[in-house]
Amino acid sequence: MAISRTVIRNGIGALVVFTIVLSAIAFWPGRVPRQVAGAGIWTCSMHPQIRMDHFDRCPICGMDLIPVKTSTGGAVDHTEHADHLQLSAHARQMARVATTKIELRPLQREIRTVGKIEFDETRMAQIASRVDGRVDQVFADFTGTMVKKQDHLVKLYSPDLVATQEEFLVATRREQELKSSTGSALSLAASARRRLQLWGVTDNQIAEILKTGHPETHMIIHAPIGGTVVEKMVRTGQYVKQGDMLYTIADLDHVWLIVDVYETDLPWVRFGQSVQVTLEGDPAVSFVGQVGFIEPVLNEQTRTVRIRVIIKNEDRKLRPGMFAQAVIRVPVMPDGTPAPTGLEGKFACPMHPYVVSDAQVPCRVCEMSLEKIPGKPVDLDQPPLVLAVPAEAVLTTGRRQLVYAVKGDGLYQLVEPQLGPRAGDYYPVLHGLAAGDEVVNRGNFLLDSQFQISGKPSLLYPEGMVGGGRAGHDHGGGTLPTKDPVSSSSPSPSATEQNLGKLPPADREAARQQALCPVTDKPLGSMGVPIKLDVEGRPVFVCCAGCTAVIQKDPQAILKKLALPKPSAPHGGHQK
């Protein structure tokens, strides 16, 4: 008896649980009963291009369709304005929509790159021996020695040099003895003097030889420039030949920073632009350089161009071999182009770009004639003001850029302005927006989703998801639709004929005879080039690839709708 009561209790409990589960499924809030879902427009939350006037399942993913008006979360469909959408206060709060106004402001485009400090090649000198001889004394005896111009470097003994000096003294004495004659003696003395000068003997040394009347057994080689000994290839007692390298001296008062700039940034780099340089080892200290040269050759492997930046280095903090970071800040003009550097119309030395003058005069370093810098002179006392929109307000696909402008209380309009290249956190506005316009700078992605769900033009669908374009139709339910979907505007006959014209001649005629897609009842060619299918041995054309799945589910219904007879068996064969 106890066992029977236990069984009865368990059965009653299971029945109660089963009843509760059935009630929960029947009255689940997210489920829309098919019998009460007969009004309004229905769409798929994953595929908004599906638009029906009755409840059904999405033919693409199988999800239940939802009402358009409730799916927008408080959005009102302004059908009279395809690019407008209005959100309720609750919907704006849920999307956390924030706006900002477009203003005039100075813009700068930053080009960041890295490079390496190198010697200024125009401020280097190599000292070579001009005669054969022996090095008897080395004055600059280690690498890194600081020397001044005309400082002693080495003392060199050369028999050829001594013989030439003696020849010069004899010819000079002979010239003095024959003062009334200016013949061979004068020619021989001048020739010997010239040889001494070509060997590096200075006029002061020649004057000293004449004064003493005795040849110098040793010649002092002097530094041609002031700087730092960066290479030393000579030692005391070493025999050298004519042309042997002795020293390399570099003036480190100016150094080069060689940086690589991508070809996409190259139009923004110009001669004379200011460059801010910081060292990897001491980023707190910055230096200011100047773009001195842009190489004419592109590196095909890195797609970059080498830029030479000239930097003053009077305190010697910049050492060749160091890595450095460089930032080129280019002001942006209202038309989105780089601002002038201020050097246009002036004159600069092509070998020493830091030598700039208002007049065409010789360079003070190399005495070459200065060349005019191309461009019209422009005097910019202050950075130009540019109409700018925040970058966070701009949605972009790479080819399209759009913003959502505020047109009223909760009313938003899709605007596709013409923007210039990005400059920091802003884009310069060229056309499409005006100063004082209010745009959405937060929540614009959610707002774009509302536009897309509503079937309006959006970021990814410029023509909208409903009406015209490639996405303006649906495929009905799992089989042929029992109710007509919401109709959309058809493309022009010329577009339809163009799509049909892309088919082979035989298929083109067959598609024209069929005329309509058996799934959507739309004209073939209205949604692009028709797709040819083989349905149980018969060619059938559909408007798009989405109709293929519907036909595969029920091919007999397609043949029946098209009133096509079943294919006969091949000649000599048997019909299966």
498-555 per-position pLDDT tens digit: 888 888 888 888 888 888 888 887 888 887 888 888 888 888 888 887 787 778 887 8
pLDDT at 549: 75
DSSP E strands in 313-419: the ranges are: 323-331, 347-348, 356-357, 371-372, 385-390, 395-396, 401-408, 411-415, 418-419
Gap between the Cα atoms of 350 and 234, Å rounded:
35
Alpha-carbon span 462 to 472, nearest angstrom: 12
Could you tell me how far CA 535 lies from the centroid of its own chain? Answer: 50
pLDDT, position 195:
85
Buried b (16+ CB within 10 A) or exposed e, 188-223: bbeebbebbeebbbeeebbeebeeeeeebebbbbbb
What pLDDT is attached to residue 78? 46
Alpha-helical segments (H) within 487-572: 493-501, 505-514, 547-553, 555-562
Between 166 and 478, the more confident residue is 166
List the one residue out of 112, 116, 399 whose CA is nearest residue 262: 112
Higher pLDDT, 77 or 51: 51
Cα gap 569→576, rounded to integer Å: 8
User: Structure tokens of 204?
Assistant: 């002061």
Distance CA 36, CA 42 (A): 13
User: What residues contact residue 271 under an 8 Å CB cut-off, 6+ apart?
Assistant: 291, 292, 293, 294, 341, 343, 348, 353, 373
Do residues 267 and 299 touch, judged by C-beta distance below 8 A?
A: no
400-438 pLDDT tens trace:
899 999 998 889 999 999 999 999 999 999 999 999 999
The reported pLDDT for the residue numbered 566 is 43
Give yes or no for residue 2 having a pLDDT over 60: no
Domain spans of the chain, in order of start: 2-46+54-73, 121-250, 493-562
Among the ranges given (23-37, 213-227, 248-262), the one the predictor scored with the smallest mean pLDDT: 23-37
pLDDT at 70: 44
* Rounded (10°) angle between helices 203-212 and 159-177: 60
Higher pLDDT, 449 or 303: 303
DSSP type of residue 64: B
pLDDT of residue 454: 76
- What residues does 388 pair with on adjacent strands? 103, 428
- Whether pLDDT at 361 is above 70: yes
Measured distance CA(576)–CA(201) in Å, rounded: 113
In the predicted model, what is the mean pLDDT of residues 432-459? 88
pLDDT over 70 (residue 309): yes
Split at pLDDT 50, 70, 90, the class of 465 is low
Q: Bigger pLDDT: 18 or 281?
A: 281
pLDDT at 480: 38
**pLDDT over 70 percentage in the chain:** 81
The pLDDT of 492-503, averaged and rounded, is 75
Report the residue count for the chain.
576
Q: CB-based contacts of 92: which residues, under 8 Å, 6+ apart?
A: 410, 443
For residue 305, the model assigns a pLDDT of: 96
Question: What is the reported pLDDT for 27?
Answer: 43
Each residue's pLDDT tens digit, 153-194? 999 998 888 888 888 888 888 877 776 555 454 577 788 888
Give the Cα separation of 372 and 271 in Å (integer): 12
* Cβ pair 543, 566 in contact under 8 A: no
Mean pLDDT of 7-14: 59
- Label residue 248 by pLDDT band (50, 70, 90): very high
> Where do we find the tokens 């200075």?
202
* Span 225-251, average pLDDT: 93
Bigger pLDDT: 78 vs 546: 546
Give dist(CA 193, CA 167) in Å, integer: 9
Joined together, the tokens standing for residue 8 give: 């009865």
Give me the residues paired with residue 85 across strands. 412
Asked if residue 76 has pLDDT above 70, the reply is: no
Give me 234's structure tokens: 């000579």
User: For the segment 317-336, what is each residue's pLDDT rounded down to a tens digit?
Assistant: 999 999 999 999 999 999 99
Query: What pLDDT score does 19 carry?
Result: 55
User: What are the backbone dihedrals phi and psi of residue 404, each rounded to the nearest 5 degrees, phi first?
Assistant: -110, 115
Q: Are 447 and 412 in contact (CB under 8 A)?
A: yes
| % of the chain surpassing 90 pLDDT | 35
Q: What SS3 state is found at 533?
A: strand
Say how far apart CA 26 and CA 375 lie, in whole Å: 78
Q: Name the amino acid, one letter, at 149.
A: K
Q: Does position 483 have pLDDT exceeding 50, yes or no? A: no
pLDDT value, residue 186? 54
Model confidence at 399, in pLDDT bands (50, 70, 90)? confident
With a cut of 60, say whether residue 574 has pLDDT above it: no
Least confident of 48-57, 142-151, 159-168, 293-302: 48-57
**Residue 575 pLDDT greater than 60, yes or no:** no
- In angstroms, the CA 48 to CA 72 distance is 11
Indicate the class that CATH gives domain 121-250: mainly beta
Q: Which of 217-226, 242-251, 337-346 comes out lowest in average pLDDT? A: 337-346
Whole-number pLDDT of residue 386? 94
